[in-house]
A and B are shown apart, each in its own frame.
Chain A
């Protein structure tokens, strides 16, 4: 490993042609050989950044460098001896030598020689290569004329031949299809497709696979894969970024991007739609959604934020992003001063910013999305609205009656207010049973503490109480700190649910008799978990209290339909059920009590204080506010009001659910342009700078023809724009090789890398533009090339010669991206859901990740059902705390443009693959799949799992190891039903009936092993 690190590190930052060593070129070329040296070591002081230049000498233009300074000229073409530059770089004196030793960036001997030779050869300057529009370079001649399949190969091979390096052979077919499939769709190939491809004799089989994997009809996953790449660039996320980082609606834009790549939208059109979709003639819904791009900036809702300051932050954010996405320029560097290495002025930054000054936006506060319902959605919404209105109208009528003061129920409550309160009678607990045989502890304060496994359970409690009339049963939910702590320490929030409560009375010698309730009053009611749900006879609905409630006691009281006279021998039996789906949601600490007629209402019994206060007065004295207080209460407890209220609520929720499905997005809207000034040192409070009008950097548009956002959009993809096509084709190249032709994907400026194959880059850029900016055509050229099809295996001689694979004498190999790692596991397990588009989904997420977000406090509910198994592309992207499953594999927070994700290899990744619910669930599902379909014998099943995950047969040693793992595991699991169940209930996935849990559990170990292999998460 060390030697490899040596290799990797030795080449770090040796990206420039001049630094790669070797003999000096016969003809020194400025852009290829000289500029990189000047940029890295000289322009810092002798570059374009006027204010920071420490001397008058500039080396970034020929005129300046040859001008006389104090009787000397830095560069005298053809005369190294007279050139001050040459003298100084060869000087031995510390106070003379350049660069100054204090910079810590001395020239290498080769660099010195190169500069000298360049002066000797006439010191010719060239504009920076990337600022000159690309020209169609002719295909170079190659010796091995049989090798090239298309023009890409000619360029690659010509250079390899010049360097005396042989290309690699074609990868084996399994590897090739797996590679192609990951590269084009982000998913592994289906095992059957691999088998067919491996055995076919069709000479065009490869090309057919390419077409299959890129066609809209057969593989819309192509668009998803390309969108993953694009969304990083444009920093697409589901939250607004600053401070509270609240959610916002932008997902229709994501779907637009997927569709654009799938439909092969011309890249120039794709560009114009995103920057200025709202301004295009005849702009439709699709163009408006595309213009969401401009609203992907991070925004704030922080109190005390200054609107003016933040508008400028947003403007700067747009400049950084747009310049980076399309131009590969670090224009953001010019916010405070002229760019240090590129000929970009501070003024250029602000003129670029001014292109977006027409966007209507507020500096601070939430933003309102525009909805785009389909015709079908529109009619559904209309119908639901009608239903909701009707329910509301009925509710209103009943409510008005109840609030009139004539209502018998209300009168009874009021009457109770004036009666002397009778104490709730404690109960004596006689017995406790539960399915899991939980421990029960009777506390001196009359409460019960129940302990047991984290699994939904039902309790049956027998008790007695003092003789007398009984009309109510009360539960006081308590939270003994020790009990709470124990739960939280085991990783769960303290919460509890009552799905059903049933009471029976047992008179001596008689059979138990059910007692019915007629209403319930709960002290706290959460949406979806109202008190009434605990007595509605539907076990699927529950009253429940979540961790956000911290009161020491929360009461819920049930009123008996008929008062019961209890004798001295009377016993009661209450059944408390939890079917909430929250395994840790059983009651843990509570107290039962009963009360006679008349003791029902009043604060002590669970009537909220404000309601009690209103109730204590006569109806004619109620104010509107009182009525509101009462109305809320009636909706939860009044025997006639609550059912209607529930119906109205259900109608409204139904409508909300449809609304959630309706595409809604922030979109660009044009208005009067804000005034843009150059801000001295980027200080927004300094308004002394000159006002500028919109425009693109003067370097590219000296005449100033671009003057607004639409112009900008058009200029970005104009045929003479030197950057956009090059930047894009380079990034696409990187997707398929792991390295760009220019390694600095986000910097095509002077200080960026030089292309390894300049002519190829230009040819690709020109072809791309001439193809009508066809992205699919570009991809086809790349994947159909022989260069692409090479094996990725390292070759010892090549590793030494070209460790960073800049010659492309082999394919790249890399760890899959975060999204692909998860999707791959789900696909292998057969549980991936490949529906396209739609609202964001919420993947599993450890408890507590969003604990430190406020305004408001954040909850997180993983998507239920099939949504949980959607592709990771659709995952909720929280900028401030990205889902750890994605973050740990280097997915970016999408706060800024990311052209290249880092690729790390950490123990935290191992933990995630070993233990996170998505991976474990996939392993369980894969094991079940194998038990169903994978044959009978262990070796057969191992082979079947290998095929699913790696699309290759296992080697004998691999089979042996996994069969052994299975055997050991099976032994350890024998009779361990609890362990088996726990493992299988980790996620939402449930085994099909008929499968042996123990068997699946043993095979789960094998699937986990295979899903964790390095090979599984690597694209070769």
Chain B
């Protein structure tokens, strides 16, 4: 029986788009990619996507879940050290939201690690991140981040969807909606999770990469750390590749036969999806198989063979980027250091080498220019200490008025530090960058205008940046 799995329909490459686009406004045209976009963009009054020349083609978002402390990493506040243990002036804290420090004394807590100047650019970083120090000249450190929400769950939702109310599309879905998927047989938005060692794991939810009211095929596909990378990727037990190939071929033959009797465009799409599914079964496991990576590359990232770690995910991110995946998001959990700030050392060990390796590896391969790397969590931590029960350790509570993130590549000015908090590190006072601004800037670098990337939903034109957001021009290269 002839099967069509070899002579591959070119339409298959758009198969991840499905039919959901039909339910959308004209802007959804972008998600058709390639030729289809060209064909539709001529209609009067429609926006062409991208809206302007992009600087970045893809994003790798290294998401430090739990909220890393800026004072132990990127925001140098000597004044905190000088006033360590003194009460934080009430004028600073009055009327401000607090999380676990509700009703507790608010005492200043100096940084626990020495800062030093690194790179040609002389950026300030602590000794906690020796490898990142080595790529400081590629980094754009933003010390003036701000967010709206102070608890993990809604803050994650806000950082990823621009709203604390569940149900909005995530940034990766927006990007895919605007630009489409270029990967041949991989989803355009891939999510990789790692935990590392730790005790205070804050849970996360799949809504952080959900497509909300955008079509379902735009949602992030979580590559599972256990079992198969993608759910149900593996043949059922006892079923061989040949069995499966013939099965899929038969299914598609029967579907074609049926389509001839009862024309239905959905059937054509279904046939394409089965072809693609089978191709994914063949190729997707390979992307997780690092045996084609030389030992020195594994060492460079700090990848232990056979272990799914943040380092492994960084290497996987590069492999996905090379294969055209548009939005790759890594979540590394357990940065929530309420009780003992020194626990941050473990986290730093887990991410430092690999984050830096990713930057350098992409650079060496000429991919850094059009890959935007974003590194940071849902919020930062207080300049005040949080005391653990009785063991004499201190940590920091959640903080939203000022925290740090960094970006690299993809049209961002390298080797700069942008924005500043006040001398007590409480508030972003110089060039504050709100989460909406970060989103607007990320979209801008991808060639998308955050004001125009909209979809009509429940009475209005919805966008990632809600009713705010401003492109941070100062950090554009």
- Chain B positions within 8 Å of A, measured between CB atoms, are 1, 11, 15-16, 18-26, 28-29, 32, 36, 39-40, 45, 47, 95, 97-100, 102, 150-154, 165-167, 187, 193, 195, 201-207, 210, 215-217, 221, 224-228, 230-240, 242-244, 246-248, 250-251, 253-255, 257-259, 262-274, 276-278, 280-281, 306-307, 331, 333, 338, 397-398, 452, 456, 458-460
CB closest residue in chain A, given B216: A904
Task: List A residues 103-121 near B (Cβ within 8 Å).
Answer: 104-106, 108
Residues of B within 8 A of A964 (CB): 1
Question: Is A893 within 8 A of B207, CB to CB?
Answer: yes
A1009 touches B166 (CB 8 A): no
User: What 5 A-B pairs are tightest by C-beta distance, nearest first?
Assistant: A880-B205, A983-B238, A304-B99, A4-B265, A904-B216
How distant is the Cα of A2 from the Cα of B39 in the complex, in angstroms? 10
**Interchain CA distance A985-B237 in the complex, whole Å:** 8
Complex contacts, A854 vs chain B, CB 8 Å: 201-203
Range of interface residues on A (Cβ < 8 Å) = 35 or more
Task: Provide the bound-state CA to CA distance between A955 and B238, in Å.
Answer: 30
Q: How far is the CA of A744 from the CA of B460 in the complex (A)?
A: 12
The answer to whether B224 touches A846 (Cβ under 8 A) is: yes
B19 engages A1009 (CB within 8 Å):
no
Let me know if B22 and A957 touch, CB within 8 A: no
Q: Knowing A685-B97, A958-B254 touch, does A340 contact B459 (C-beta < 8 A)? A: yes
How far, in angstroms, from A333 to B205 measured CA to CA in the complex?
24
Evaluate contact between B257 and A955: CB separation under 8 angstroms.
Answer: yes
Residues 952-978 of chain A, each 1 if its beta carbon lies under 8 Å from chain B, else 0: 000101100110110011001000101
Most chain-B CB neighbours within 10 Å: which of A880, A882, A958? A880
Q: Are A12 and B216 in contact (CB under 8 A)?
A: no
A912 B258 Cβ-Cβ under 8 A: no
| B216 pairs with A906, CB closer than 8 A | yes
- Could you tell me the distance in whole angstroms from the C-beta of A971 to the nearest C-beta in chain B? 11
Chain B residues contacting A546 (CB-CB under 8 Å) are none
Q: Please provide the chain A residues from 1 to 22 with a CB less than 8 Å away from any CB of chain B in the complex.
A: 1-2, 4-6, 8-9, 11-13
The smallest C-beta distance from A1020 to any residue of chain B, in angstroms, reads 8
Q: Is the interface of A mostly helix, strand, loop or mixed?
A: loop
Which of A8, A244, A491 interacts with B203 by CB under 8 Å? A244
CB distance from B378 to the nearest CB of A (A): 12
Given A961-B1, A986-B236, A1014-B258, A1 and B265 touching (CB < 8 A)?
A: yes
Query: Would A880 and B237 be within 8 Å (CB), given that A4-B265, A916-B232 are in contact?
Result: no
What CA separation (Å) do A663 and B441 show in the bound complex?
51
* In the complex, chain B residues whose CB is within 8 Å of the CB of A199: none
* CB pairs A–B below 8 angstroms (19 shown): A1-B272, A2-B36, A8-B265, A243-B152, A747-B459, A793-B263, A847-B227, A851-B225, A854-B201, A855-B203, A893-B210, A895-B167, A902-B23, A907-B16, A908-B277, A911-B231, A961-B253, A972-B242, A1009-B254
Q: Which residue from B203, B234, B270, B456 sits with its C-beta under 8 Å from A853?
A: B203
Chain A residues whose CB sits within 8 angstroms of the CB of B267 once the complex forms: 1014
A929 to B78, CA, bound (A): 76
- Specify which chain A residues have a CB less than 8 angstroms from the CB of B15 in the assembled complex: 906-907
Q: How many angstroms between the C-alpha atoms of A300 and B99 in the bound complex?
A: 13
Inter-chain contact B20/A903, CB cutoff 8 Å: yes
List residues of chain A with CB within 8 A of the CB of B11: 1-2
Residues of A with C-beta under 8 A to B270:
905, 910, 1014
Residues in B whose Cβ lies below 8 Å from that of A855: 203
Is the beta-carbon distance between B452 and A104 smaller than 8 angstroms? yes
Complexed CA–CA distance, A893 and B211 (Å): 11
CA gap between A920 and B235 in the complex, in Å:
10
Whether A435 is near chain B, meaning CB under 8 Å from some CB there, is no
CB-CB < 8 A to B280: which residues of A?
Answer: 907, 911
Is A35 engaged at the interface, CB distance under 8 Å to the other chain?
A: no
For chain A, residues 203 to 254, give those with C-beta under 8 angstroms from any C-beta of chain B. Answer: 241-245
Q: For residues 826 through 883 of chain A, which have their beta carbon under 8 Å from a beta carbon of chain B?
A: 846-849, 851-855, 879-882
Cβ-defined partner of A1005 (8 Å) among B32, B221, B247, B254: B247
Residues A905 and B255 in contact, CB atoms below 8 Å apart: no
Provide the bound-state CA to CA distance between A968 and B187, in Å. 33
A1018 contacts across to B, CB distance below 8 A: 264, 266
Q: Check A846 against B231 for contact (C-beta < 8 Å).
A: yes
Q: Which of A123-181 contact B (CB under 8 A)?
A: none
In angstroms, Cα B238 to Cα A316, docked, is 52
A 767-820 contacts with B by CB, 8 A: 793-794, 813, 815
Q: Could you tell me if B233 and A903 are in contact, using CB atoms closer than 8 angstroms?
A: no
Given the contacts A911-B280, A972-B240, A979-B238, A333 and B100 also touching, CB distance less than 8 Å: no
List, in ascending order, chain A residues with CB within 8 A of B216's CB.
890, 902-904, 906
Closest A residue, CB atoms, query B267: A1014
A12 and B460 contact, Cβ closer than 8 Å, known pairs A1013-B255, A1014-B255: no
Residues of B within 8 A of A685 (CB): 95, 97
The answer to the question of A752 belonging to the interface, with a C-beta cut-off of 8 Å to chain B, is yes
Q: Which residues of A contact B39 (CB under 8 A)?
A: 6
Alpha-carbon distance between A494 and B398 when the two chains are bound, in angstroms: 36
Q: How far is the CA of A685 from the CA of B98 in the complex (A)?
A: 11
Q: Is the CB of A848 within 8 A of B227?
A: yes
B203 in contact with A749 (CB, 8 Å): no
The answer to whether A895 touches B264 (Cβ under 8 A) is no
Q: Chain B residues near A793: list those with CB within 8 A.
A: 262-263
Alpha-carbon distance A711/B432, docked complex (angstroms): 47
Bound-complex Cα distance A274 to B214 (A): 30
Q: Flag if B232 contacts A915 (CB, 8 Å).
A: yes
The distance in angstroms between the C-alpha atoms of A969 and B246, with both chains bound, is 9
Which residues of chain A are within 8 angstroms of B333 by Cβ–Cβ distance?
A: 852
Residue A535 CB within 8 A of the other chain: no
> Which of B1, B206, B224, B227 sits near A893, CB closer than 8 Å?
B206
- B455 to chain A minimum Cβ distance, whole angstroms, is 9
What residues of chain B lie closer than 8 Å to A965, measured between beta carbons?
Answer: 1, 246-247, 250
Cα–Cα, bound, A317→B195 (Å): 31
Interface assignment of A1015: CB less than 8 Å from any CB of chain B: yes
Q: Give min CB distance, A583 to chain B, whole Å.
A: 10
Question: Please, which residues of chain B bring their CB within 8 A of the CB of A12?
Answer: 21-26, 28
**Would you give the shortest CB distance from A243 to chain B, in whole angstroms?**
4
> How near does chain B come to A810, taking the closest CB pair, in angstroms?
12
Are A880 and B397 in contact (CB-based, < 8 A)?
no
B233 touches A980 (CB 8 A): no
Cα A881 to Cα B219 with chains together (Å)? 13
Is A587 part of the contact surface with B, judged by Cβ < 8 Å? no
Is A330 an interface position by the 8 A CB rule? yes
User: In the bound complex, what is the Cα–Cα distance between A908 and B223 (angstroms)?
Assistant: 12
B-chain residues with CB within 8 Å of residue A914 when the two chains form the complex: 232, 235, 244, 247-248, 274, 277
CA distance A896 to B169 in the complex (A): 13
Q: Residues of A contacting B248 with CB < 8 Å?
A: 914
Is there a chain B Cβ closer than 8 Å to A400's Cβ?
A: no
- Select from chain A the residue with minimum beta-carbon distance to B277: A910
Q: Which of A9, A108, A309 makes the CB contact (< 8 A) with B40?
A: A9
CB distance from B60 to the nearest CB of A (A): 20
Question: Which of B226, B257, B272 contacts A491 (CB under 8 A)?
Answer: B226
Residues A627-656 near B (CB distance < 8 A): none
Chain A residues whose C-beta falls within 8 Å of the C-beta of B28 in the assembled complex: 9, 12
What is the minimal beta-carbon distance from A511 to any residue of chain B, in angstroms? 42
Asked if B151 and A333 sit within 8 Å, CB to CB, the answer is: no
Closest Cβ of chain A: how far from B471's Cβ, in Å? 16
- Docked pose: A793 CA to B268 CA in angstroms: 15
Known: A340-B459, A972-B242. A852 touches B193 (CB 8 A): yes
Q: Counting chain B CB atoms within 10 Å of each CB, which of A855, A912, A914 scores highest? A: A914
Query: In the complex, what distance in Å separates the CA atom of A911 from the CA atom of B154?
Result: 32
Closest CB-CB distance, A491 to chain B, in whole Å?
Answer: 4
B250–A910 touching, CB < 8 Å = no
Question: A residues within 8 A CB of B224?
Answer: 846, 848-849
* A302/B221 in contact, CB under 8 A: no
Q: Which residue of A lies closest to B288 (CB)?
A: A489
Chain A proximity of B219: nearest CB distance (Å): 9
Nearest A-chain residue to B208, judged by Cβ: A880
User: Are A969's CB and B243's CB within 8 A?
Assistant: yes
> Which residue of chain B has the shortest Cβ distance to A814 in the bound complex?
B266
